[in-house]
Amino acid sequence: MDFRDLDDVIETAKEITKEAGRIILEIYEKDFSVDYKDDFSPITEADRKANDYIVKNLKSRYPECAILSEESKNDPERLKNDWCFIIDPLDGTKEFIKKNGEFTVNIALSYQGKPVLGVIGIPVTGELYFAVKGKGAFYEKDGHIERIHVSSRTKDIRLMMSRSHKSDKLLQLIQRNGIKNTLSVGSAIKGCLIARGEAEVYYRFGYTMEWDTAAMQCIVEEAGGIFRQMDDSEMTYNRVNNLNEKGFYIINHPANKLI
CA-based nearest residue to 204, from 223, 195, 191, 214: 191
pLDDT in tens, 86-117: 999 999 999 999 999 999 999 999 999 999 99
- Which domains does the chain possess? 3-148 (3.30.540.10), 158-256 (3.40.190.80)
Taking residues 189-214, what's their average pLDDT? 97
Model pTM score: 0.97
**Coil, strand, or helix at residue 43?**
strand
Residue 23 near residue 30 (C-beta atoms within 8 A): no
- How many whole angstroms separate alpha carbon 130 and alpha carbon 12? 12
| Residues sharing a CB contact under 8 Å with residue 133, sequence separation 6 or more, in sequence order | 3, 6, 114, 115, 116, 117, 218, 222
Taking residues 187-215, what's their average pLDDT? 97
What integer pLDDT is reported at residue 39 of this predicted model?
87
